[in-house]
Amino acid sequence: MAQGVVVRSLAGFYDVMDQEQRYVCQPRGVFRKQGVQVFVGDRVEYEILEPAKGVIRRVLPRDTLLARPPVANVTQALLVFSLLRPLFHPGLLDRSLIEVLLAGLHPIITLSKCDLVDGSLADSLARPYLLAGFPVLLLSVRTGQGVPNLRAHLRGELTVLVGPSGVGKSSLCNALSPTLGLRMGEISEKSQRGKHTTRHVELFSLEADTLVADTPGFSQLEVNIQAAQLSSYFPDFTQFAQNCAYRGCRHMEEVECGVKQAVASGRLASSRYDSYCNIYQELKNKEWSR
């Protein structure tokens, strides 16, 4: 039976790419009863029923699965956040990092539209994430800054683009491969939030061995882990947590907390700690309401 990769999902139909040929497929009717879901990035076995149309018979085992945006078998995630228009949102970036790490993906942070802000501001916003051990790229599609470096990071990988609406994910795809012709989004002047340009997940080929999944943007992201697990998704806390007086310190109301001391002394970014506290309290509230 023929095998291919799902490159687009839209209204119950799935575009399956096999070599250079694309087939519009529907899943087997029994999939819904069995609880089988098909995601962009899935490797599938399919049967051709008529020219350019077919049916998906089987979803092959996945290597990875990102819950939001839903995409399978990606090897890394490019978290795209603009420094301006819309304004940089560190809390949303921190939530996105948790989602990506939870899926077992390698995160690369890209701070876009860096031509709109002073270089020192861009560096200061990138610094907490560099100290946490995350790769950070400063990018401007308009000037071309950072585009060649980004292309090198993407080569040979299947990368999912993750980020809020209006940060430039689709225009970034255009800069990497102008033939894609993806529409560029607009920014609402009132809310400084982006308007959705991409409305579905879709895989695009940049080079023979390089695929990118463009995804819809978002303005909120819910974290679904236990509160006790949260600190493990903040790797920059680790070295300071060794100085906590209490085993299992939650880094909240405890007095002798190495993490809180690091924030007070400026060794740990207050923005990262604020994100941690907000997410921790949100998770505890959900646990208490169960």
Q: Are residues 71 and 206 in the same domain?
A: yes
pLDDT at 164: 87
Q: Are residues 166 and 239 in the same domain?
A: no
Q: Are residues 35 and 84 in the same domain?
A: no
Q: Please report whether residue 85 resides in a domain.
A: yes
Cβ atoms of 216 and 199 closer than 8 Å: yes
pLDDT at 180: 67
Q: Please report whether residue 221 resides in a domain.
A: no
Q: Are residues 69 and 207 in the same domain?
A: yes
pLDDT, one tens digit per residue, over 155-166 is 999 999 998 888
Q: Last residue of a domain, which of 13, 38, 59?
A: 59
Lowest mean pLDDT among 6-10, 152-156, 207-211, 273-277: 207-211
Q: Please report whether residue 222 resides in a domain.
A: no
pLDDT at 100: 94
Q: Are residues 129 and 161 in the same domain?
A: yes
Alpha helices (H) along the chain:
30-34, 90-102, 119-131, 147-154, 169-176, 238-241, 258-264, 270-288
Give the pLDDT mean for 187-215: 67
Rounded-to-integer distance, Cα 161 and Cα 198, Å: 11
Residue 195 has pLDDT above 50, yes or no: no
Residue 1 has pLDDT above 90, yes or no: no
pLDDT band at 170 (very low <50, low <70, confident <90, very high): confident
Beta strand 43-50 with 2-10 is antiparallel
pLDDT at 238: 96
Q: Please give the mean pLDDT across all residues of the chain.
A: 89
pLDDT, one tens digit per residue, over 211-226 is 999 888 766 788 999 9
Record the pTM: 0.87
Best CA proximity match to 238, nearest among 265, 266, 264, 267: 267
Could you tell me the maximum CA-CA distance found in the chain, to the nearest angstrom? Answer: 69
Q: Are residues 13 and 109 in the same domain?
A: no
Cβ atoms of 77 and 98 closer than 8 Å: no
In the chain, how many domains are there?
3
Residue numbers of the domain that contains 283: 227-288
Q: Is the peptide bond before 69 cis (omega within 30 degrees of 0)?
A: yes
Share of residues in the chain with pLDDT > 90 (%): 71
**HEC profile of 155-199:** CCCEEEEECCCCCCHHHHHHHHCHHHCCCCCCECCCCCCECCCCC
Q: Are residues 140 and 187 in the same domain?
A: yes
pLDDT, one tens digit per residue, over 218-274 is 667 889 999 999 999 999 999 999 999 999 999 999 999 999 999 999 999 999 999
Cβ atoms of 51 and 135 closer than 8 Å: no
